[in-house]
Structure 1
């Protein structure tokens, strides 16, 4: 999972699946992203914004996947709100591991240790198992999809996911490199879904990010080169030569996202994976929604993007849809 896969690992989808979209939400506690990590002092005030968001998703035809971490999975209000949507079949539940707030606590809090895959395997497995079991107990269904908090996969993550019955991992963020902070380097990973294991039981569903611009075919090499030259990537973007676009309302404009969709759609990508963090649904908890205007901008972004996807014939899918479409083609 940490190394780019061989081309032969690319997953094949059933022909009837077409091109679809999956909306994933890192459903987590509120914390100061610029401050040192800590086990306490977080909040869950934004949970009261979830009903509006869920209703909005149902109105625009989105099927959200709530990737919940320990603070959310142990919060009665969050469990009731998200659980209602899961029971009605209008949302899916998944796992997101933030190791610094997830028991058992056997590690020092360092930046490197916030990437769960860096922990000793027994500790990563213990934290994951407690969270997975809590989610099944709270929501009444076994989660089938996982995202490592901070995209922090490790060498043993695939094995523990398979042992727990997880069928899809969506931790890989192509074109992004977190190694300077002690995390994984995904700059060489493909955008297409692929099998993360030899037995083809665990599907890797990368979060969608693409290169756009006149030099996009040289994007990977130029992006790696730009890490040695401060501001180089920004200059290339301003000149419309090379731009990295992630499909998220957090820091990406509607116009940029539509350019990204053009690339992903044109390449035949079977699943476009959108993502953002749940605290952005309320004002003041992330830099992407510093005030109410920022929250409304997020809703406006989603409305425009889903209208554009609908125009292209790209409809929403569920976790079960993806599993079904790939199981017969493993």
Structure 2
């Protein structure tokens, strides 16, 4: 029986990460099967409810106001439009609906009140509802919990050592404080990072070490591959290889066996075989829909074909025990 540990050393994680790739995949697949049903993948939908105009300087992000990108700024969407998007997502097989707003931090104002109404409405659809709204105080986290928020996403992005090369407008401790406030409100934590930011392998190990040594592991760990956007400082970064994604996913799975390891941004640049390797290595969650906030994502029908080819099924929502809506069958798919 694999032990759930929170006392990993960086050296132990580095040793796991650097094993021969086939041995790493085998080890991760074994742990995955011990704690999860490998035929289940949670399908999530991410909607940008407020886009662009962000005052932060995250070097990868096209929503930063200081960069000249093609992102069209829009204010907070109408509540009913967001709820309709959630209904469509549920019909297409999603059991978690995530709302992202390009804010540095949550402010106690009418926009936050409207987000709380959105949370309540999506909660009534029997979907897990998640938000990523920037930094959050303890009282704001409590308000979200009372509205029915199931999970809060706040990524570390990279290691503490590499962090200042990517972002200067908030600190690593700011991120950890927000995660702590989410925990205090008894909201599920979604926290991972991005690879391909010019970091070293040691930075990837360092980020996983921070996550895997938290008092409680995040319930969800997104692993993103940078999608370079023209106009951002990282626009010329090379594509992350599938083997790098597999190493991250497998190491996350071994060190945090019960977490939902989310194959997130960058999936649009992977073929079915590459995604299959990620699932084999322990990924058991994806985002569906044609966009992740502002970056491209595979369309729903492509994911339906992928699920049929690999005999995967959408995992049901945690809250109510009802089965997830299955993807529509595609004529001629395996």
Number of aligned pairs? 243
What's the offset of the Cα at 1:320? Answer: 5.8
Which residue of 1 is the match for residue 225 of structure 2? 173
Which residue of 1 is the match for residue 305 of structure 2? 308
Select which of 15, 20, 25 maps to 2:46: 25
> Does the C-alpha gap of structure 1 residues 24 and 190 become closer, same or farther in structure 2, counting only changes over 3 Å?
same
Alignment TM-score, normalising by the size of structure 1:
0.50
In the aligned structure 1, how far is the partner of 2:299 from the partner of 2:48?
A: 19
Higher helix proportion (structure 1 or 2) = 1
The runs of 5 or more residues in structure 1 that have no matched partner are 105-113, 210-245, 281-285, 289-297, 322-330
Which residue of 2 is the match for residue 207 of structure 1? 263
Deviations 1:127-184 (A, max 9, x none): 22343355568xx642232244798685653354342631432134289899956989
Deviations 1:65-97 (A, max 9, x none): 527567386522223213443465412426576
What's the offset of the Cα at 1:56? Answer: 0.7
Which residue of 2 is the match for residue 131 of structure 1? 178
Superposed CA RMSD in Å reads 5.4
Does residue 91 (structure 1) correspond to residue 128 (structure 2)? The answer is yes
In the aligned structure 2, how far is the partner of 1:316 from the partner of 1:24?
A: 12
For the 8 Å contact 1:73–1:134, the answer to whether it is kept is no
> Does the C-alpha gap of structure 1 residues 157 and 76 become closer, same or farther in structure 2, counting only changes over 3 Å?
farther
> Does the C-alpha gap of structure 1 residues 306 and 207 become closer, same or farther in structure 2, counting only changes over 3 Å?
closer
Select which of 286, 289, 308 maps to 1:273: 286
For the 8 Å contact 1:10–1:194, the answer to whether it is kept is yes
For the 8 Å contact 1:191–1:208, the answer to whether it is kept is no
Which residue of 1 is the match for residue 251 of structure 2? 195
What's the offset of the Cα at 1:190? Answer: 3.7
After superposition, residues 233-248 of structure 1 pair within 5 angstroms as 246-248=266-268
In the aligned structure 1, how far is the partner of 2:257 from the partner of 2:308?
A: 34
Which residue of 1 is the match for residue 32 of structure 2? 13
Deviations 1:15-46 (A, max 9, x none): 744152532527574116385259xx975423
Which residue of 1 is the match for residue 275 of structure 2? 264
In the aligned structure 2, how far is the partner of 1:45 from the partner of 1:263?
A: 36
The runs of 5 or more residues in structure 2 that have no matched partner are 1-9, 54-61, 138-155, 320-334
> Does the C-alpha gap of structure 1 residues 185 and 310 become closer, same or farther in structure 2, counting only changes over 3 Å?
closer
In the aligned structure 1, how far is the partner of 2:308 from the partner of 2:93?
A: 13
Does residue 50 (structure 1) correspond to residue 107 (structure 2)? The answer is no
In the aligned structure 2, how far is the partner of 1:136 from the partner of 1:277?
A: 31
Deviations 1:249-275 (A, max 9, x none): xxx7xxxx8xx3365348863636236
For the 8 Å contact 1:145–1:319, the answer to whether it is kept is no
> Does the C-alpha gap of structure 1 residues 191 and 60 become closer, same or farther in structure 2, counting only changes over 3 Å?
same
> Does the C-alpha gap of structure 1 residues 16 and 201 become closer, same or farther in structure 2, counting only changes over 3 Å?
closer
Does residue 146 (structure 1) correspond to residue 191 (structure 2)? The answer is yes
What's the offset of the Cα at 1:55? Answer: 0.3
